[in-house]
Amino acid sequence: MPTAPLAGSPAPLTALIDVARVEREYYARRPDPDNPAERVAFGTSGHRGSSLAGSFNEAHVAAIAQAVCDYRRANGVDGVLYLGNDTHALSAPALRTALEVLAANGVEVVIDRDTEHGRERSDRYTPTPAISRAILVRNAGRTTRLADGIVVTPSHNPPEHGGIKYNPPHGGPAETDVTRWIEERANHYLHDGFRDVRRTPYEKALRAATTHVEDLMQAYVRDLGNVIDMDAIRAAKLALAVDPLGGAAARYWDAINDLYGLDIEVVNPVIDPRFAFMTLDHDGVIRMDCSSPYAMARLVRLKDRYRVAFANDPDADRHGIVTPSAGLMNPNHYRNRQNRRFERADRPRRPRLRPASP
């Protein structure tokens, strides 16, 4: 694959998005339902696109949220729906749109909030694994009133992109038959002029009796100790570092350090919807792909300072691993190598967290 001249270099000013324009186009631009490039199209459990290209706009999110409500009713999913978003510029506006539709449909929605300090939504982002965990915990032992979730994220896609994905009651990404159903229903609403899309103003949706808040971050962080040997990590006294790549997991690492007494250095705590701190990917585009040596160039340059360094993509369902000897490792190769090492040593395997989606 050919690489751009600036691949792996710090993003120049010319590569940064105009956040105000990206948000303005989200509300102002109306997609053409007869143009395949502007229709709802689900990939890995979600629809992604750019407000500037007419492929991710308010109309898409409202139609998808209504389609999810319809899918839930048609399939007897009537428990709470966990709703979260990442740090992309379009994620907060899209979360507001989704909540307006969900509240108007009477869906019980849980959003993340710091219940101890009363901080507002703008201070909190929700990684995909936290939504998945909340769904699984809520549904444990249940056969009725099952929970599901929506995560507003375009994953590692460029800063001007937005995305929205649905996680059914099993907590992982929705299967193809589910996403096809939602996609077709949402495109019906686009064609039909939104006549049957229910919606209520955002402030009213926030105050609705069906909208609830939970501290999803602390619940997730506390649960990590049940699947990861934190005592072993702490006792090893390894030099560890993480780069959240400006994503939803940024505050989680501080919480993990505080609760378990770890000393994982967060080398980049910055949240910036332009992702101006990134190095350009192979094609000269800003892309928070933690499997790309170009996007991970900053962390790779620090490899000799830490025994292990790692990164998450913006919704934290992907990881990249950097070591002094190998530089950026393929995460799947790392997992397989670790499994073989445990098998050779005849040691029992500890359960480990798996990403909610590939």
| CA dihedral sign of residues 266, 271, 275, 277 | negative
Q: Which of 114-118, 147-151, 166-170 has the lowest average pLDDT?
A: 114-118
Q: Please, which pLDDT band fits residue 342 given cuts at 50, 70 and 90?
A: very low
Q: Among 183, 218, 253, give the residue marking a domain's end.
A: 218
H or E element at residue 152: strand 148-152
Q: Please, which pLDDT band fits residue 242 given cuts at 50, 70 and 90?
A: very high
115's tokens: 């219940």
Q: Are residues 53 and 183 in the same domain?
A: yes
Pairing of strands 46-50, 81-85: unpaired
Q: Are residues 261 and 341 in the same domain?
A: yes
Name the nearest CA neighbour of 112 among 247, 210, 252, 213: 213
Helix (H, G, I), strand (E, B) or coil at 240: strand
Tell me the pLDDT of the chain averaged across its residues: 91
167 domain residue, yes or no: yes
Q: Are residues 150 and 59 in the same domain?
A: yes
Is the pLDDT at 206 greater than 50? The verdict is yes
Range of the domain at 269: 228-345
Catalytic residue from among 51, 91, 132, 155: 155
* β-bridge mates for residue 190, sequence order: none
Q: Which of 191-205, 225-239, 268-282, 326-340 has the lowest average pLDDT?
A: 326-340
Q: Are residues 23 and 142 in the same domain?
A: yes
- Single-letter residue type at 250: A
Q: Among 218, 247, 275, give the residue marking a domain's end.
A: 218
Q: List, in sequence order, the alpha helices (H) in 75-215.
A: 91-104, 128-139, 176-191, 202-207
Distances (CA, A) of 270 to 22, 103, 129, 276, 294: 20, 32, 21, 10, 19
pLDDT of residue 352: 38
Residue 122 among the catalytic residues: no
This prediction's pTM: 0.90
Rounded Cα distance between 194 and 91, Å, is 22
Q: Are residues 36 and 148 in the same domain?
A: yes
Q: Are residues 91 and 207 in the same domain?
A: yes
Q: How far is CA 153 from the centre of its chain?
A: 5
Q: Are residues 128 and 163 in the same domain?
A: yes
CB count within 10 Å of CB 254 equals: 13
- Which tens digits make up the pLDDT trace of 13-61? 999 999 999 999 999 999 999 999 999 999 977 999 999 999 999 999 9
